[in-house]
Amino acid sequence: MTITGFIFWAFIAVSIVYLIIIYNNLVSLKHNVSKAWSNIDVLLKQRHDELPKLVETCRQYMQYEQDTLEKVMQARASVATAQQKGDISALGSAEGALRMGLGSLFAIAEAYPELKADQSFQHLQARITGLENSIADRREFYNESVNINNVRIEQFPDLILARFFGFKSFTLLEFTSEELVDLDIKSLFER
């Protein structure tokens, strides 16, 4: 074999190894996004199971705040629907509505000393607050995974393999501008 032949076959071998590495990295990124979504999904399910308990505990004390309780339950249903459909943009909107409803509920609960003193309410409030924090952390991890995936499938030479093998971009889990506005706690106490 001549030196030119050896260089040619070495180039082909290195190219194939390089393409295999790119492909494996793209597969890894795709599965990281799926794993990140699964982590959010588990936390959403846990919160979904805890919210009726919180609402029922509050209902016993907050007879005149049915509107707030209903908003929380409607938002919970919207989150569940978006989660089941896998609709990321609808989930972001529903999550925002649920966060605002929970903020209102916890703020209004301040006007009910018996409710605030109830051990069940305190436990559920702490549990849901912890789940909210975990969801925010997982959401950040999901969005980072999505961003890395989306950038890689658009970069050269990765985009060649991504298009050839049908790798797709994913949607970020985002809040709308209305959902980013701070909740006016003072107005909730003036009811």
CATH class of 3-170: mainly alpha
pLDDT at 185: 44
Looking at residue 186, its pLDDT comes to 47
Q: For position 188, what pLDDT does the model report?
A: 41
**Helix residue ranges per DSSP H, the chain:** 3-61, 66-85, 88-109, 113-117, 119-152, 158-165, 185-189
Side-chain-side CA neighbours of residue 134 (13 Å): 16
Determine the pLDDT at residue 34.
Answer: 92
DSSP state of 83: H
CB 34 within 8 A of CB 140: no
Query: What pLDDT is stored for residue 63 in this prediction?
Result: 66
pLDDT for residue 183 = 46
**Helix crossing, 158-165 with 3-61: angle to 10°?**
70
- What is the predicted pLDDT for the residue at 191? 43
Q: Distance between CA 16 and CA 57 in Å, rounded?
A: 62
Read off the tokens for 106: 């916890």
Tens digit of pLDDT at every position of the chain (191 positions)? 789 999 999 999 999 999 999 999 999 999 999 999 888 888 888 888 888 888 777 777 676 677 777 888 888 888 888 888 878 878 888 888 888 888 888 887 777 777 777 787 888 888 888 888 898 889 899 999 999 999 999 999 999 999 999 999 998 887 655 544 454 444 444 44
pLDDT of residue 175: 64
| Phi and psi based region of residue 181 (left: phi greater than 0; alpha: psi -120 to 50; beta: remaining) | beta
